Amino acid sequence: MLIDNKRLADFAALVHTGHVNPFDGPLKVGVDLGTANIVVAVVDSNNRPVAGMTTASKVVRDGIVVDYVGAVQAVRKMKGQLEEKLGVELIKAATAIPPGILEGNVRCIANCVEGADLEVTRVIDEPTAAATVLEIQDGAVVDVGGGTTGISILNNGTVTFTADEATGGTHMTLVLAGYHGLTFDEAEVMKQDTAKEDEVFPVVKPVVEKMATIVQRFVSGRDVSKIYVVGGACCFTEFETVFEKILHIPTMKPNDCLFVTPLGIAVNV
């Protein structure tokens, strides 16, 4: 089932148009260093979206920084472009990690953001950041990105469990590439072409079923009555239907699912 989130739609529109919203007071910055995309979100002290930017990137793989210099340069460049539009310096930031990665890798992600001259006030689990935007008190948030699928379970507003598995949109692309004899990049273009969704989804559906069985393992025996899917890989129209068939738990998807986690990171500065 689709859910409508206006703040999210506002933020997505800022990213797509490059516009900035009027603001007052100090700004907060969220930096999402993903496997597929780096997204920078800027919100005001009332958590209203002010500006945003996304860049395709290969500097992080599955929550691990594989190109430190490239990551710092990319974040620095995005910060500079946003500052120019906003006319102020961006100072405080938060960033995020897939749940459960090793402490050294957490530090490395934070260092990338600090290397771009931002003061990191918090490093949060990605699905937990997403839960903030969706204002969830109870249920499981599943962030299916390019390379990682993270889950946070909340009960009465408290995160009671987090986990992460190395699967995501990249696996879908690999399956599609193998099926059609395409390169990875060709398959990526085909996968994201919504006009080809009827042709693409049946091929990648087994990957979605596998993701659902992974989530089933995490939620089994825990109090989860709703699942919220976010992240770029759940863009497919039928994604949540596959989850519901396997998990037998109502599964919701917000609009602009690519931008839930980045916006949630900024809110948590």
Ligand X SMILES: Nc1ncnc2c1ncn2[C@@H]1O[C@H](COP(=O)(O)OP(=O)(O)OP(=O)(O)O)[C@@H](O)[C@H]1O
> C-alpha angle with apex 259: 256 to 264, nearest 5 degrees?
125
Asked whether position 146 contacts ligand X by CB under 6 A, the answer is yes
Indicate the pairing of strand 251-254 with strand 227-230. Answer: parallel
Indicate which single residue of 37, 95, 128, 132 sits in contact with ligand X (rule: CB under 6 A): 37
Minimum distance, C-beta of residue 141 to Mg ion, in the bound complex (Å): 12
Please state, in angstroms and rounded to a whole number, the distance separating the CA atoms of residues 138 and 247: 17
DSSP character string of 108-130: HHHHHHHHTT-EEEEEEEHHHHH
Q: Which structure tokens are listed for 19?
A: 């516009």
Which one, 34 or 99, has the nearer CB to Mg ion?
34
Which one, 51 or 130, has the nearer CB to Mg ion?
130
- The count of other CB atoms within 10 Å of the CB of residue 156 is 8
Which one, 23 or 239, has the nearer CB to Mg ion?
239
3-state SS, 155-168, equals: ECCEEEEEEEECCC
Which one, 49 or 145, has the nearer CB to Mg ion?
145
Residue 83 CA, chain-centre distance (Å), reads: 23
**Residue 30 binding partner per list ligand X, Mg ion, none, with a CB distance cut-off of 5 to 8 Å that depends on partner kind:** none
Asked whether position 191 contacts ligand X by CB under 6 A, the answer is yes
- The count of other CB atoms within 10 Å of the CB of residue 114 is 16
Asked whether position 236 contacts ligand X by CB under 6 A, the answer is yes
Write down how long the chain is.
Answer: 269
Asked whether position 52 contacts ligand X by CB under 6 A, the answer is no
- Report 17-36 residues binding Mg ion (CB under 5 A): 34
Q: Which amino acid is at 195?
A: A
Minimum distance, C-beta of residue 65 to ligand X, in the bound complex (Å): 11
Interface stretch with ligand X, choices 80-88, 109-117, 154-162, 184-192 (CB under 6 A): 184-192
Asked whether position 145 contacts Mg ion by CB under 5 A, the answer is yes
User: Which residues here bind Mg ion, judged by CB under 5 A?
Assistant: 34, 145
User: Which residues here bind ligand X, judged by CB under 6 A?
Assistant: 32, 34-37, 63, 145-148, 168-170, 188, 191-192, 231-233, 235-236, 258
